[in-house]
C-alpha cells in the first residue's frame, strides 16, 4: 500500500473520505498502460485509445490498445504465476484476496467517482451498490479459498489454470470482482479485459492489486476492444473463458472455442418479465418496477424491461408509474440526487433512440417523463410503452436502456406463457401477497433468477446466470466457485 493512502479503521470508508462528488482527490492518469506481470507496460503497437465521460463528452484518459502479442505476454505471465499460485495454501491465497477487499473499501470513494465519470451511472449507485458489492465479492470468495475441500467434499477440487475474462461496460468494477475473486480463490490466474468504453476502474483495480503485493502475474489486466477480446478467446494456452456481454458476441465465442478444451461460462442478454398481480402491495411494486428498469439507466442484463400488470389493477399501476417517473431526476451523474445518469456511449444512445422509433412505428403508445435533459452528454428520458404485444420488437429484443414495454394479463397461465415466450431467460420478478403464487411461478418461469416482491437485489452468496440465449454457467455463490474448478 502506498504511503499516501489513508488508513481507515472501520469499513464505512465513506464517512472519513472526501465527498464523492469532490473529484479533486481522485487521481486519474492521462495515459494508462497494460498491467502485465505485476507492472504497467507499454502496448506492443504503441497505440492508445481515448475513454470519455458520457455525461460531458470530454476525454478522461487514454488507454493502451492490446494486440495479440500483448495478450500472449499476459497469458505467459499468468501461466508462470499459476505454477506457484496454485500450490500456495488456500489460507495464504485467502489472505491476499482479503487484502484486495480491504484496499477496495479504503479506496471506495475513488472507485465510485471514477466509475461514475467513465460510465455515466449515478454516483449514488456506484457509491452504495457497485463498489461495496465488488468488495463484498472479494471478501466472500476469500473465505472459501481454504475451504474448497469442505465446499466440494470428495470431489478433489483443482484449479483450471489460466482464465481469460471479458467483461462489459454496465458494471465495470463489479463484473471484474465477479470474475477475479472466485478465480483466485480456486487457485487460477487471470487475464481480464474490461470493455473499451469503461476501462478506468479495472485499471485502478490493477493499481490496487499491484499495491496489495499479490504475486506478479496472478492477475493481468489488459485493455482493448473486440479484437483484443477475440485474441484472449483464441489464445491456445487459456483454460477457461468467462464472458459477460452481448448474446451476439457470446455466440461468436462459443463457436470459436468449439472443439478446444477450454471451459466456458457465458452471461449474456436478457428481457426480464416483471409481473404484478392484483393482490400485490402496489406502491411497493411500483418502486420495484422503477428500480427494475431505470436502475443504471436500464443498462442491466437482468433489467425488468417487460412489465405485465394484471388487468384489474392496470389503470392504477400505470397512473402511479407515470407519477413516479415524473419525480425521477435525470442528469449529472456526479450529483448525488440524480436518479438516472448518462447513457454509456453515443452508440448506445443511438441504439436506444432507434428502438424508441421502432416502438412508435409498431403502434405502441409512448410515454416519457416531462423532465428536461442536459444538452451536452448522452441522456435519454425515462420511457414507457403501453399497448405492446408479444410480437413487437420492443418486447422481444434487449434494448439495454431506460425503456419499459407494458402488457396486461388476466390469468396466471396467460402470464407464464407470455413471460416465457422470449429467446432470453435470465431473470424475472413477481409481485404478489400470496406465497403460493410465488412458489408456483418460480418453478414455471424459465429464468435463472426470480425475485419476489423485490428486484435487482444482488448478493455474493447467490448464484446468477441464465437459460436459453441468456447464456449458461453461474456466477456468485458456490456455483460461481465451481465454475473455476475441475471437480
Contacts with ligand ADP, residue ranges (CB under 6 A): 166-168, 193, 195-196, 225-226, 229-230, 233, 245-246, 249, 252-253
- CB-nearer residue toward ligand ADP: 103 or 233: 233
> Which of these, 264, 205, 204, lies nearest to 232 by C-alpha position?
264
Report the nearest approach of ligand ADP to the CB of residue 450 (Å).
Answer: 24
Q: For residue 454, count CB atoms less than 10 angstroms from its CB and return exposed for 0-12, middle for 13-18, buried for 19 or more.
A: middle
Is 230 or 309 the residue whose CB approaches ligand ADP more closely? Answer: 230
Neighbours of 149 (CB within 10 A): 12
Catalytic residue among 110, 115, 196, 301: 301
Nearest residue (CB) to ligand ADP, 245 versus 304: 245
Cell triple for 255: 463457436
Alpha-carbon distances of 169 from 31, 110, 300, 379, rounded to whole Å:
19, 18, 10, 16
State in angstroms the smallest separation of the CB of 464 from ligand ADP: 17
- Judged by beta carbon, residue 229 or residue 463, the one nearer ligand ADP is 229
Residues composing the chain: 487
Catalytic: 371? no
| Shortest distance, position 252 Cβ to ligand ADP, whole Å | 5
Locate cell 472466485: which residue? 182
Closest contact distance (angstroms) between CB of 345 and ligand ADP is 8
Instruction: Please give the Cα distance from 275 to 407 (Å, whole number).
Output: 10
287 an active-site residue? no
The residues, any chain, with a CB within 8 Å of residue 106's CB and separated by 6 or more, are 5, 6, 7, 8, 13
Contact 336, 368 (CB under 8 A): no
Residues 20/336, Cβ–Cβ less than 8 Å = yes
CA 392 to CA 394: how far, in whole Å?
Answer: 5
The residue nearest ligand ADP at its CB is 229
Which of 125, 196, 267, 398 is catalytic? The answer is 267
Torsion of CA 151, 482, 127, 457, to 10 degrees: -90
Q: What is the closest distance, in whole angstroms, from the C-beta atom of residue 447 to ligand ADP in the complex? A: 20
Please report how close the Cβ of residue 267 comes to ligand ADP at its closest, in angstroms: 10
* Residues catalogued as catalytic: 267, 301
Amino acid at each position: 500500500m502506498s504511503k499516501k493512502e489513508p488508513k481507515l479503521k472501520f469499513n464505512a470508508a465513506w464517512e472519513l473520505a472526501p465527498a464523492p462528488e469532490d473529484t479533486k482527490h481522485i487521481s486519474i492518469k492521462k495515459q494508462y498502460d497494460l498491467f502485465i506481470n505485476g507492472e504497467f507496460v507499454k502496448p506492443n503497437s504503441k497505440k492508445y485509445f481515448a475513454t470519455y465521460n458520457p455525461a460531458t463528452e470530454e476525454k478522461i484518459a487514454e488507454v493502451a490498445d492490446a494486440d495479440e502479442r500483448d495478450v500472449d505476454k499476459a497469458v505467459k505471465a499468468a501461466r508462470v504465476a499459476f505454477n506457484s499460485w496454485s500450490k500456495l495454501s488456500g489460507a495464504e491465497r485467502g489472505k491476499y484476496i482479503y487484502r484486495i477487499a480491504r484496499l477496495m473499501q479504503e479506496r471506495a470513494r475513488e472507485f465510485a467517482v471514477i466509475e461514475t465519470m467513465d460510465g455515466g451511472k449515478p454516483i449514488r449507485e456506484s457509491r452504495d451498490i457497485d463498489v461495496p458489492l465488488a468488495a463484498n465479492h472479494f471478501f466472500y470468495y476469500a473465505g472459501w479459498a481454504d475451504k474448497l475441500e469442505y465446499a466440494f467434499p470428495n470431489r478433489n477440487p483443482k484449479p483450471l489454470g489460466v482464465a481469460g475474462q471479458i467483461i462489459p461496460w454496465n458494471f465495470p468494477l463489479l463484473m471484474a470482482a465477479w470474475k477475479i475473486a472466485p478465480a483466485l480463490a480456486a487457485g487460477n490466474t487471470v487475464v481480464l479485459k474490461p470493455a473499451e468504453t469503461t476501462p478506468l476502474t479495472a485499471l485502478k483495480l490493477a493499481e490496487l492489486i499491484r499495491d496489495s503485493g499479490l504475486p506478479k502475474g496472478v492477475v493481468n489486466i489488459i485493455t482493448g476492444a473486440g479484437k483484443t477480446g477475440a485474441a484472449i478467446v483464441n489464445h491456445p494456452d487459456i483454460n477457461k473463458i468467462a464472458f459477460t456481454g452481448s448474446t451476439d458476441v457470446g455466440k461468436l465465442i462459443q463457436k470459436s472455442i468449439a472443439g478446444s478444451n477450454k471451459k466456458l461460462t457465458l452471461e449474456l442478454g436478457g428481457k426480464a418479465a416483471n409481473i404484478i398481480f392484483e393482490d400485490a402491495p402496489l406502491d411497493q411494486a411500483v418502486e420495484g418496477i422503477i428500480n427494475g428498469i431505470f436502475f443504471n439507466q436500464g443498462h442491466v442484463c437482468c433489467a425488468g424491461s417487460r412489465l405485465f400488470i394484471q388487468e384489474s389493477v392496470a389503470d392504477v399501476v400505470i397512473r402511479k408509474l407515470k407519477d413516479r417517473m415524473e419525480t425521477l431526476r435525470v442528469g449529472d451523474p456526479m450529483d448525488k440526487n440524480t436518479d438516472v445518469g448518462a447513457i454509456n456511449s453515443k452508440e448506445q444512445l443511438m441504439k436506444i433512440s432507434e428502438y424508441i422509433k421502432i416502438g412508435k412505428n409498431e403502434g405502441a403508445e409512448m410515454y416519457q417523463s416531462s423532465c428536461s435533459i442536459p444538452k451536452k452528454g448522452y441522456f435519454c428520458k425515462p420511457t414507457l410503452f403501453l399497448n405492446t404485444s408479444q410480437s413487437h420488437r420492443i418486447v422481444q429484443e434487449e434494448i439495454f436502456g431506460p425503456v419499459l414495454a407494458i402488457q396486461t394479463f388476466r390469468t396466471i397461465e396467460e402470464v407464464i406463457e407470455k413471460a416465457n415466450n422470449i429467446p432470453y431467460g435470465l431473470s424475472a420478478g413477481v409481485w404478489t401477497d400470496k406465497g403460493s403464487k410465488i412458489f408456483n411461478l418460480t418453478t414455471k418461469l424459465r429464468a435463472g433468477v426470480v425475485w419476489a416482491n423485490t428486484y435487482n437485489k444482488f448478493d455474493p452468496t447467490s448464484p446468477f446466470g441464465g437459460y436459453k440465449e441468456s447464456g449458461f454457467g453461474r456466477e456468485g455463490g458456490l456455483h460461481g466457485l465451481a465454475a473455476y474448478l475441475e471437480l
